[in-house]
Structure 1
């Protein structure tokens, strides 16, 4: 596999750090979109292996990781991230590509498709955020399945030991059950850009107070006319019931569930996850 090249792109609101693996093949390139908003792309580095047969581009979105943080809070909005992706892709010579979005990256992928559908060959939506209302409803249901003492703690102050213990139990069940977390995931969690995350989402995975409130891209899902693959773990915080439902909203959707997996199933079951991606990408090239 070719050595990865890295650099900076002077994007909307600040520079974007990018990494590109280019095997110089005719296969359709792939762009990877990380979650958050505000989690650096480190935790997706296990997908670099796909660069052995197609160009793979990943970048830290504005405000996190090695990219710049915008000065104006008004830039923390979906449109900014869509425009930054378009500029980066165009200046990198990527006119048509597969688009992979994990978690919040799934919402970004759908929003990009809605604005530039002719640019996207296919969509891979891994444990995606599509509807804020649906995400919060799933979170409430999963919290209701925790032991009573954890439910009570999560309803109280975040400054208590009990709250932190309950939070870790939720993450163990539904975010990543590897112990310890892989270094790439730990780097992304440690590098979370609190300003962007809290402005757009909120204080944690299951409390939505930011400017994404009310966003629902279900109409875009219904309108998809390109191949779209939906992936999640059986114990994912993006629950199988919800993700499977999205996959059935258009006639081009497909759904794969990984038994025993959580929100970061690509790290828990890397071989199966990559094999599923390869098969889909090859079929849609």
Structure 2
């Protein structure tokens, strides 16, 4: 279990809920306007600390380690429920904390969790902010703006396409720079626009290395497939929750009421992108995965374009939506370009 050092002004505690024990970071008055932060994959609540401290003092910031991350309980993940294990955890947590309504912000996979929660509890969400979120159609294995599944079994998505060396080094607690697949180098190269060397790099690396690794956690299990690239999602673990056979968040278009929706992304994001360095279709196109069947069969997933299409329909059906693109930033614009990010987000909170 990791014990990550926190910035001055951040308090931490464990909270027991009906769904498990979760580690909580907080800042601000107990009666402040609540903001709940949901972190992404292979990270923890500590990624939010600078942004929590920057919030105006009238807000109460609440960030938590999701199951299997940070100091929260190492609960298994049923991927066949999509992201619902995580969104149900969030529901139990906010109920335990007696948060009736609140602002909700999620990053990457956490953006998907925030969308899933909002689909199920739209009346609880004052505003929804998603930062470089997973596509509403999941991660990998789809094509076109409507998220058409390429293969029936979702081949090319889920745990089986995670970099095995990265998984091994993560499990071993590797802090080195000896391989491009070391967690530190992945942080520097992909979590932000390279070279992304954050002043709190050691704490961010601690957060990454706190991830529970295995078939029930990160990345999950996999199954052989007759379709390229020869591997399909299993039924357990984190990466499989975002496979298109289990994950579809496009139902957010139809919810009532519709919270104001802000989408912030880095212009140079290499993780969630229409040309993602983690998408098997794009890697195949680059010749990095053998046997690629071609763009007509397995094109790169247009992740950003899919997200925009869904959010535009959200607006057409009565929601308020804004897309903000932060230049010279990658997958973590709130850490890379804090001034630009905070200006956009705080203005949105004020308007809403």
**Same fold per superposition (TM over 0.5):** yes
Contact 1:21–1:51 (CA under 8 A) maintained in structure 2: no
RMSD between superposed Cα atoms in Å: 3.5
**Residue 55 of structure 2 aligns to a residue in which SS?**
helix
In the alignment, which of 4, 12, 20 is matched to residue 6 of structure 1? 12
Contact 2:17–2:96 (CA under 8 A) maintained in structure 1: no
Deviations 1:162-198 (A, max 9, x none): xx53789886564322443442432222222223221
Deviations 1:177-220 (A, max 9, x none): 24434424322222222232212899xxxx98324321121121
After TM superposition, list the pairs within 5 Å mapping 1:161-172 onto structure 2. 164-165=179-180
- Structure 2, unaligned stretches of length 5 or more? 1-7, 144-160, 167-178, 224-230, 234-239, 274-303
CA shift, 1:159, in A, is: 4.7
Distance in 1 (CA, whole Å) between partners of 2:221 and 2:124 is 26
Contact 2:187–2:205 (CA under 8 A) maintained in structure 1: no
After TM superposition, list the pairs within 5 Å mapping 1:65-214 onto structure 2. 65-70=70-75, 72=76, 74=78, 77=81, 78-133=83-138, 135=140, 158-159=164-165, 164-165=179-180, 174-176=190-192, 177-181=194-198, 182-183=200-201, 184-195=203-214, 196-199=217-220, 209=233, 210-214=240-244
Contact 2:102–2:125 (CA under 8 A) maintained in structure 1: yes
- Structure 1, unaligned stretches of length 5 or more? 139-154
Q: Look up the match of 1:234.
A: 267
Q: Look up the match of 2:348.
A: 280
Contact 1:130–1:218 (CA under 8 A) maintained in structure 2: no
* Structure-1-length-normalised TM-score: 0.77
Distance in 2 (CA, whole Å) between partners of 1:242 and 1:283 is 26
Distance in 1 (CA, whole Å) between partners of 2:79 and 2:47 is 24
Distance in 1 (CA, whole Å) between partners of 2:344 and 2:105 is 13
Contact 2:22–2:67 (CA under 8 A) maintained in structure 1: yes
Larger radius of gyration: 2
Alignment: residue pair count: 259
